[in-house]
Structure 1
Amino acid sequence: MIENENHIEEIANEFAIAGEFISGEEVDSGHINSTYVASFKKSDGRVGRYIFQRINENVFKEPLVVMRNVEMVTRHINWKVMRVKRDQGGQTLNLYPARGGRFYATGDGGGIWRCYNFIEGCKTYDIVENTRQAYQAAHAFGAFQDLVCDIPVEDIKETIPDFHNTPKRYARLMEVIKEDPKGRVASAQKEIEFIKERQGIVSKLIDLKEAGVLPERITHNDTKINNVMMDVESDEAVCVIDLDTVMPGLSLYDFGDMVRTAVSPAAEDEVDLSKVDMRMPMFEALAEGYMDACDCLCDAEIENLAFAGKLISLEIGIRFLTDHLEGDVYFKTHRENHNLDRARTQLKLVEKLEEHEPEMESFIKRLAKARSYHQTLP
């Protein structure tokens, strides 16, 4: 048995898993946590698979706080799905208990581990291939938002401070530009000027929240399509995964990140910027899916859905550019100027979203009116 399998079996023995360990292997996906899949033979001869995951303590400084959030949210959602919604798209992965009744274990080599059920017959997609997938993913995230809307915000703790604080991201970029620690500022002047021209929008959502116009909610904060499990045969959303970033935030951050990652056919690090585009049918499918599933949205949230994608794309562009200027200390890079390429792709998407913003706003208003969402929209 290889060393990894020995390690997985040791970790598995800390959890309430029935059956005999057969094999295990590391899953080469995701950029943060270490993930393994293990197979167990049950007493009736069937084989079951389980996911074991170690929380990355470099990213999440308080892993037990992460686990407390995940446990609270999964319990609430699964109770609500069974008792109220009865909606498959609102399900989550289930945590398996460890020794002592906790939902985590400590490995021999340190670290906080957890165990999830493995959902058979499902897969994830890195790029949205069609409007059905866009609708299903948005519906799943909308259902998630609706299911957690009644959890008191103060019950869920912040795991990454200021994660979507766009003004602070902008201020940090300005500091790095002034310091120019790696001598890279001169080669990014075009991108810097593009961002500076949009300084006036970076605080819009936070200002609305502080004014009491936008409600603070429990949000997912990582709403890429690959965080939705899709049924292989039907392409229907089965559940939302990767709940480590669940914390207080704005629903518009979640919707905006969906727009950022779904409307363009180009990869996040595409060097040919002519491939970056804004596919209006994808936006329409996202808006329909999200609004169909999420009944808790208020007027101000709906009015800013079209704006949200632009803001989050700008924010991520700022983060990529900041990391490039600092010397690539946060995001993993695989080639020279990788983070600069990523930043350019995001800023190009901002430009495309700006071109279509009136069209997107008009669609949202028609959609809200058709669904009788609110009476105060102009």
Structure 2
Amino acid sequence: MIDDESHIEDVAHEFAIAGEFVCGEEVYSGHINSTFMATFKRPSGKVNRYILQRINANVFKDPHAVMRNVEMVTRHINWKVLRVKRDLGGQTLNLYPARGGRFYAQGEGGGIWRCYNFIEGCQTYDIVENTRQAYQAAQAFGSFQDLVSDIPVEDIEETIPDFHNTPKRYQRLMEVIEADVKGRLASSMPEVEFIRERQAIVSKLLDLKDAGVIPERITHNDTKINNVMMDTETDEAVCVIDLDTVMPGLALYDFGDLVRTAVSPAAEDEQDLSKVEVRMPMFEALAEGYMNGCDCLSDAEIEHLAFSGILISLEIGIRFLTDYLEGDVYFKTQREAHNLDRARTQLKLVEKLEECEPQMVDFVARLAKARR
């Protein structure tokens, strides 16, 4: 573990960073990897900042495969932005080479580290504040999907098997419920029953894929709103980040996660469930932005955009509840029953989205008709 600035400096010096190390600090964001910011000063006096991340090997069993995927995707996007879209206003993540020419380094005490450029003048949002932010984030993820749509699916490795396999997530929860190794089941029975009542929908999207109705694509797989860097002055989307989960998947899961993280003003771990609601203007901005950014969506994918938010919210609720019952072994927690609070928030959102589904379906249909 890194516990002081000297360790951050040691890791930073493994990468091709010019200048003198000034300081380092931990960045507390995300549930999985450990993230640090390193500041360097060049002889000219210019100060640059860099992001150092240690890949969580408990989650990503093959961190080298993660790095191969990230390297391929960032190179492809950089090439396409410059050569195809010629959009020099946007920025993409760039990996810095380590000693020996690789794009990762072995840290002290083990662990795989990588170094990214820090994009100045940007920020992320955990909760969407307005429809402009929602539209921009959705367009950014839609454009990301479009940019990687011509990478052969077989060229990208599956780094977390069955990551968005909702039926298997459901089955795992049932096994954990049966075992109840931490004696926590009694405190979560209403959530368990809510999920059981929706067993019939957990395989809907994968059934469509298996039937050839919707395609498998290279997808981001973690399209939380805070994985888009926004310009602090204009709220314009600048860069999609957190590419560790890029692998074969469904575009509908990506859009569904956008809905999950943007339509409600409540935080992901909100304990006051009365704050969980569906802001229809936010959904409309997401749908319009994503469809405008992603030209490759099929009619069948568009038809199921509204449903995708319900399913991914249910899936994430299942994952949080599973982790709670297992003893908080996957997601980072900051308090007792943190994962149970997260699960309750997600399941309340499922309920609210189900109520709004007819309106969402109608809006997407009107968008689809207008773009024909």
TM-score, with structure 1 as normaliser: 0.94
CA shift, 1:178, in A, is 2.2
Match of 2:52 in 1: 52
> How far did 1:26 drift?
2.0
**Matched AA of 1:137:** A
Alpha-carbon distance in 1 for matches of 2:229, 2:353: 27
Residue aligned with 1:92, SS: coil
CA distance in 2, matches of 1:145, 1:309: 17
Q: Does the aligned pair in 2 maintain the 1:89–1:139 contact within 8 Å? A: no
- Tell me if 1:292 matches 2:292: yes
How far, CA to CA, are the matches of 1:102 and 1:184 in structure 2?
Answer: 45
Letter in 1 for 2:256: G
Name 1:249's counterpart in structure 2.
249
Deviations 1:92-130 (A, max 9, x none): 210111222211111232221111111111111111111
What residue is the counterpart of 1:222 in the other structure? 222
**1:237/1:69 Cα in 2 relative to 1: closer, same or farther (>3 Å)?**
same
Instruction: Give the CA deviation at 1:66.
Output: 0.5
Given the alignment of the two structures, is residue 106 of structure 1 paired with residue 110 of structure 2, yes or no? no
**Distance in 1 (alpha carbons) for counterparts of 2:196 and 2:231:** 43
**Cross-structure match for 1:180:** 180
Question: Deviation above 4 Å: which 4+ runs of structure 1?
Answer: none
1:64-108, CA deviations, whole angstroms, 9 ceiling, x for partnerless residues? Answer: 111000000000000000011133686421011122221111123
1:174-213 CA-to-partner distances (Å, cap 9, x unmatched) read 1222223233333333222221111111000001111111
Alignment partner, residue 258 of structure 1 = 258
Could you tell me which residue of structure 2 aligns to residue 375 of structure 1? none
8 Å Cα contact 1:208-1:214 kept in structure 2: yes
Are the aligned partners of 1:264 and 1:277 in contact in 2 as well (CA < 8 Å)?
yes
Q: CA deviation at 1:348?
A: 1.1
Greater displacement, 25-34 / 61-70:
25-34
Pair 1:87 & 2:74 matched? no
- Asked if 2 retains the 8 angstrom alpha-carbon contact of 1:88 and 1:238, the reply is no
Distance 2:355 2:113 in 1: 46
Q: Percent identity?
A: 82
Find the residue that maps to 1:49 and give its secondary structure: strand
Structure 2 CA distance for partners of 1:108 and 1:144, relative to 1, 3 Å = same
Q: Which amino acid aligns with 2:111?
A: G
Counterparts of 1:143-162 in structure 2 under 5 Å? 143-162=143-162
Distance in 1 between residues matched to 2:246 and 2:257, nearest whole Å: 14
CA change 1:199–1:88 in 2 (3 A) is farther
Shift in Å, 1:295: 0.3
The one-character-per-residue Cα deviations of 1:352-371 (angstroms, maximum 9, x if unpaired) are 11111011000001001111
Deviation string for 1:284-332 (max 9, x for gaps)? 0000110111001011110100000000011111112222222333223
Distance 2:325 2:10 in 1: 42
* Partner amino acid, structure 2, of 1:147: L
Q: 1:7 to 1:333 in 2, by over 3 A?
A: closer
Distance 1:238 1:49, change over 3 A: same
What are the ranges of 5 or more consecutive residues in structure 1 without an aligned counterpart? 373-378
Task: Determine the C-alpha separation between the residues in 1 that align with 2:110 and 2:185.
Answer: 40
CA RMSD of aligned residues (A): 1.7
- Alpha carbons of structure 1 residues 48 and 183: separation in structure 2 relative to 1, 3 Å: closer
Distance 2:89 2:355 in 1: 33
2:131: which partner in 1?
131
**Contact 1:16 1:98 (8 Å CA) reproduced:** yes
C-alpha distance in 2 between matches for 1:297 and 1:108: 45
Give the whole-Å Cα distance in 2 for the aligned partners of 1:266 and 1:191. 18
* Aligned twin of 1:35: 35
Look up the SS of the partner of 1:115 in the other structure: strand
After TM superposition, the score normalised by the length of structure 2 is 0.96
For residues 309 and 331 of structure 2, what CA distance do their matches in structure 1 show?
21
Report the alpha carbon displacement of residue 34 of structure 1 after superposing the two structures with TM.
1.9
